[in-house]
Amino acid sequence: MIRNPDLLQKHLDYRFNDTTLLEQALTHRSAGSRNNERLEFLGDAILGGVIAGELYQRFPGAKEGRLSRLRASLVRRESLADIAQSLQVGDYLQLGVGERKSGGHHRDSILSDALEALLGAIYLDGGYAPCRECILDLFAGKLESLADTTVLKDPKTRLQEFLQAQHRALPAYTVLKVSGEAHAQSFRIECAVTGVEPSTGEGGSRRQAEQDAAECMLAQLTAEQ
């Protein structure tokens, strides 16, 4: 049995009718055959859908590419693990002996999987509406960080201001590829910022490609906060 499930349910702001679902969501595959892998699969799908719907509403002018990048930045492993840590999910996990000894309670992959499993369990226990409410509550801060108050400024300007506010070096843009005829060229640009993975963008002009790459980089950086 998991310890003090009432405290975790309080943090989730959701009380389970069937606490066996909660226990299963917190059971790693190393601890037994009745584990959280299937719940993780379910929770991952629901999480992606809820976040996609919220981004669609919040950014009515955003194109598919930008929405996809924003969603990816929110539901990536590190982001989920960060939320799981804030809920102290690691304290409740049931792990096999090997995983316990190797520090599985603090591993991002295990924490992120457990969070998705918890969401899947909430869906099965209470339905879509409370699961959606829980997701939006857990991701409220990260969603707000994407709500750019300088929406009228272009992505390159916003990225520059973001980096300057953190006293970081400005980005470097590099042309990776130019293809197509002179009258219909396509540019692929890399945006590099010290300390993070480079982002890439594409467009019908160098400026468009740089803006696309900057927007991708900005989404990546804001999601890490």
- Active-site residues, by number, are 44, 116
The torsion angles phi and psi of 191, rounded to 5 degrees, stand at -110, 120
How far is Cα 68 from Cα 219, in angstroms, rounded to an integer? 11
The total of other beta-carbon atoms located within 10 Å of residue 179's CB is 10
How far is Cα 65 from Cα 222, in angstroms, rounded to an integer? 17
SS3 category, 74: helix
Could you list the beta-strand ranges (E) of the chain. Answer: 172-179, 186-192, 199-203
3, 93 Cβ separation under 8 angstroms: no
Amino acid letter at 15?
Answer: R
- Give the DSSP H or E segment for 174: strand 172-179
